[in-house]
């Protein structure tokens, strides 16, 4: 049963979103912080529907979180003056081919995301999800004001793998590493 409430700060990305730095099975601590599940979502600039939904959700999170962003200050800083999670891959990662002609959003959560396949069946085998796969992500945006840092952050809800992609990070599979060897004629007992 679908509900009619739509959350203006929640976005479901398009199917051509590529997952990178996918720490979605085990939480990982960064710089000694609280361990979190995380993924970098690479969104092609050509996916204007997803990009526009993200921009609208960031604006909604800004409006919803104005009192938090104001903090003890006299006024709310303008949206253009605070950190936002939508970043340009061509500017911030020019040396990384995977981020070319794309935006990216780093999403994280202290709780494990639900992970399903294209048929919405839970994925149990952890090797099915890796940096480089394509799929949708359910994410939400929210304002933060912590230790003098103010901005909009991105929370990770759930993931839906749509298709495999070239693994990112240069790690090959065991099947690929040993494909050229034919074990049938190895007479290792002689």
Closest to 14 (Cα-Cα) out of 54, 58, 57:
54
pLDDT at 60 (0 to 100): 97
pTM: 0.85
Q: Are 15 and 135 in contact (CB under 8 A)?
A: yes
Residue 32 has pLDDT above 90, yes or no: no
**Position 5 in a domain:** no
**Position 24 in a domain:** yes
Alpha-helical (H) ranges within 48-118 are 48-64, 66-70, 89-92
**Position 129 in a domain:** yes
Helix (H, G, I), strand (E, B) or coil at 175: helix
> How many Å apart are CA 174 and CA 158, to the nearest integer?
28
Residue 184 has pLDDT above 90, yes or no: no
Residue 66 sits in a domain whose CATH number is: 2.40.50.140
pLDDT at 179 (0 to 100): 65
**Position 121 in a domain:** yes
> How many Å apart are CA 145 and CA 62, to the nearest integer?
12
Sign of CA dihedral 128, 2, 58, 145: negative
Q: Are 41 and 57 in contact (CB under 8 A)?
A: no
**Position 96 in a domain:** yes
**Position 2 in a domain:** no
CB atoms within 10 A of CB 165: 18
Q: State the residue range of the domain holding 161.
A: 10-180
Provide CB contacts within 8 A for 21, sequence distance 6+: 38, 39, 40, 106, 131
> How many Å apart are CA 112 and CA 27, to the nearest integer?
8
**Position 83 in a domain:** yes
111-157 residue pLDDT tens: 999 999 999 999 999 999 999 999 999 999 999 998 878 999 999 99
What total of structural domains would you count in the chain?
1
pLDDT at 169 (0 to 100): 75
> How many Å apart are CA 147 and CA 136, to the nearest integer?
33
The residues facing 87 across adjacent strands are 104
**Position 149 in a domain:** yes
């Amino acid at each position: 049963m679908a509900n009619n409430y739509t959350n203006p700060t929640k976005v479901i990305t398009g199917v051509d979103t590529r997952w990178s730095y996918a720490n979605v099975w085990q939480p990982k601590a960064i710089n000694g912080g609280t361990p979190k599940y995380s993924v970098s979502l690479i969104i092609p600039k050509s996916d204007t529907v997803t990009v526009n939904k993200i921009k609208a959700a960031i604006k909604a999170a800004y409006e919803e979180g104005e009192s938090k962003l104001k903090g003890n200050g006299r006024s709310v800083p303008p949206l253009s003056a605070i950190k936002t999670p939508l970043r340009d891959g061509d500017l911030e990662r020019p040396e990384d081919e995977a981020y070319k002609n794309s935006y990216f959003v780093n999403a994280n959560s202290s709780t494990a995301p639900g992970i399903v396949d294209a048929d919405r069946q839970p994925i149990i085998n952890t090797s099915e999800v890796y940096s480089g796969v394509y799929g949708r992500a359910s994410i939400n945006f929210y304002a933060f004001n912590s230790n003098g840092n103010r901005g909009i952050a991105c929370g990770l809800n759930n993931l839906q793998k749509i298709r495999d992609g070239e693994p990112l990070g240069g790690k090959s599979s065991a099947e690929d590493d040993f494909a050229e060897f034919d074990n049938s004629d190895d007479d290792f007992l002689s």
